[in-house]
Chain A
Amino acid sequence: MKVIESENLTKRFGQFTAVDNISFAVEKGEIFGFLGANGAGKTTAMRMLCGLSKPTSGKGTVSGFDIEKQSEEVKKNIGYMSQKFALYEDLKVWENLRLYGGIYGIEKKAIGPKIDALLHQLGFESEKNTMVKSLPLGWKQKLAFSAAIFHEPKIVFLDEPTGGVDPAARRQFWELIYDASDRGITVFVTTHYMDEAEYCNRVSIMVDGRIEALDSPKNLKKQFEAENMDHVFHQLARRAKRN
């Protein structure tokens, strides 16, 4: 089953074509790496897929909903987490989860037990009443990811989720991603760490608004005769003409 389908998706700002005719599909449970240099169009593409920005032309569906005509349905049925913003620092751990649960329309009575079950699963029970700002960054990231999938979406969008996280916590975070994927959640992730590109089932690389390569890391390395994904990325990103 396809959870994301994009067909000739395009976004122009005046004369500038930020996203230029991209077509691709992502399968249920897949970990899909969405790579590209700064300014290649990743954020604009992701905003369209999340129902936050209307395409200039082309079409797309996410979780079975049309990103243009049913953008509110899209928003309800996805999870989103970014490194820049994920949780409210001045709220306690459980308050953040309750807020997320409420925003995504989980039934009031169900939220409490669901919070307890999640904290138990994460081994976080002792931190239930802790202010998020006093948690170590690695824990914050884990909690933020759990909050993003608290309403059990079919797909979660992760925008540079591991930036600045220490090496061990970064890897633990990826193990959470694996677990989510094993449970059938589709993971759409951007990252600037090329070792993390290797952990994805498939990777797309955007250059100047277009998807210039899309395949498994193994096949991409073969195709570009590269030793690792870093070399693949460098070869492609250097083709960029704009900026």
Chain B
Amino acid sequence: MKAVIVQELERSYDKVEALKGISFEVDQGEIFGIIGPDGAGKTTLFRILTTLLLADSGFASVDGNEVVKDYKSIRKKIGYMPGRFSLYQDLTVEENLKIFASIFKTTIEENYHLIKDIYQQIEPFKKRKAGALSGGMKQKLALSCALIHKPVVLFLDEPTTGVDPVSRKEFWDMLDKLKHQGITILVSTPYMDEASLCNRIGLIQDGNFLKIDTPENIINQYENVLLAAQSNQMSKLLKDLRTEEDINTCFAFGDSHHITIKKESLAENGGNFSIDKLTMDLSNKGHKDIHIEPIKAGIEDCFMELAK
């Protein structure tokens, strides 16, 4: 049985089509990442799957239960961590966890093994009010509360947004451990670099999936010739590269610019593009320390190509 099945799901708010008929499936025990910018439809999808919002049309099920008909059984066996911190700010850390445990008719002790690694980090502050915790600690408490009833599927809506790179890495290490305990995880994120930590990902934009596959397959299917370029004048280089007739796209990527070459300009298609020629052109425009090399695409390159 699939952990999540979604077929032709549609949902609009007035004139805005948040989900335009999306379909996908999540296998049991996998980490499935929904990756895309704000406004792509991620939260709408999560709210439908967690039975908090009705779709206009289409079908969705979680662990074999249909989201409308069987909403009561779904609510009992999923964990949901919404994007906005939604615990009780004026209750203590411990009280929040107890409330969630009792709502689900369990105790902290019963499933302590599941949250141990995460909860231990905030246990020294268990008498502190949730509202007074730092961002990282709130996140750990929210995850503990979402896990305390041993959910079959865990829904995490942008758990790492606004979180620094080191804390994000720690959070993903926690998710990996949960996966090994057999929990299926559906997680959304706007950070493309988190894609490689998922078993499979769906790249989403404007209510549609651009692609669903493993991160490796998506990268391997990238068809363009991609080059990284550097010179001593990076800002000028960006502008100069864009005036080159062989170049299709050019964007800043950290310490270099990523450029794609027009298909017809490639030697194999009878064009006369070469790295040496480009280097010469740039040198004539006053650039020094020019370095251009072919590189492998990352998920962000793929997203930008697919989103065009």
Contacts and interface: CB of A to CB of B under 8 A. Distances in A.
B255 A167 contact: no
Interface stretch (B51-59, B107-115, B133-141): B133-141
Size bracket, chain A contacts: 35 or more
A39 B252 CA distance: 29
Contact of B165 (A166, A174, A194, A199): A194
A194 B16 CA distance: 33
A27 interface: no
Contact of A174 (B40, B252, B307): B252
B165 A237 contact: yes
Contacts of B300: 167
Interface residues of B, number: 35
B161 A38 contact: no
Given A174-B252, A237-B166, A164 B190 contact: yes
Interface string B167-196: 111000000000000000000001110000
A83 B168 CA distance: 19
B37 A165 contact: yes
Interface string A229-241: 1100110011000
Given A195-B254, A228-B255, A160 B37 contact: no
Contacts of B238: 175
Nearest to B235: A178
Contact of A243 (B36, B134, B190, B205): B134
B165 A171 contact: no
B221 to A, nearest CB: 18
Contacts of B271: none
Interface in B15-70: 16, 36-40
B97 to A, nearest CB: 20
B251 interface: yes
B253 interface: yes
Nearest to B139: A38
A163 interface: yes
Contacts of B80: none
B136 A38 contact: yes
Interface string B216-244: 00000000000000000001001000000
A136 interface: yes
A188 B37 CA distance: 24
B291 to A, nearest CB: 13
A194 B166 CA distance: 11
Interface string A209-241: 000000001000000000011100110011000
A28 interface: no
B38 A137 contact: yes
A37 B162 contact: no
Given A167-B300, A171-B251, A228-B254, A136 B166 contact: no
Given A167-B303, A178-B235, A192 B251 contact: no
Contact of B162 (A169, A192, A228): A192
A192 B163 contact: yes
Given A38-B135, A195-B253, A243-B136, A230 B36 contact: no
Given A137-B37, A168-B304, A178-B235, A217 B255 contact: yes
Given A166-B205, A168-B307, A37 B164 contact: yes
Contacts of A238: 166
Interface string A169-209: 10100110010000000000000111100110000000000
Given A137-B37, A195-B253, A166 B166 contact: no
Nearest to B257: A171
B43 to A, nearest CB: 11
Interface of A: 36-39, 83, 134, 136-137, 160, 163-169, 171, 174-175, 178, 192-195, 198-199, 217, 228-230, 233-234, 237-238, 243
Given A194-B254, A195-B253, 14 more contacts: A38-B162, A83-B162, A164-B190, A165-B37, A166-B36, A167-B192, A168-B304, A171-B251, A175-B238, A192-B162, A229-B254, A230-B165, A233-B165, A233-B166
15 contacts: A37-B164, A38-B163, A137-B38, A137-B39, A160-B162, A166-B36, A166-B37, A171-B251, A174-B252, A192-B165, A193-B191, A194-B254, A234-B166, A237-B165, A238-B166
A-B pairs with the 5 shortest C-beta distances?
A166-B37, A195-B254, A164-B38, A37-B164, A237-B166
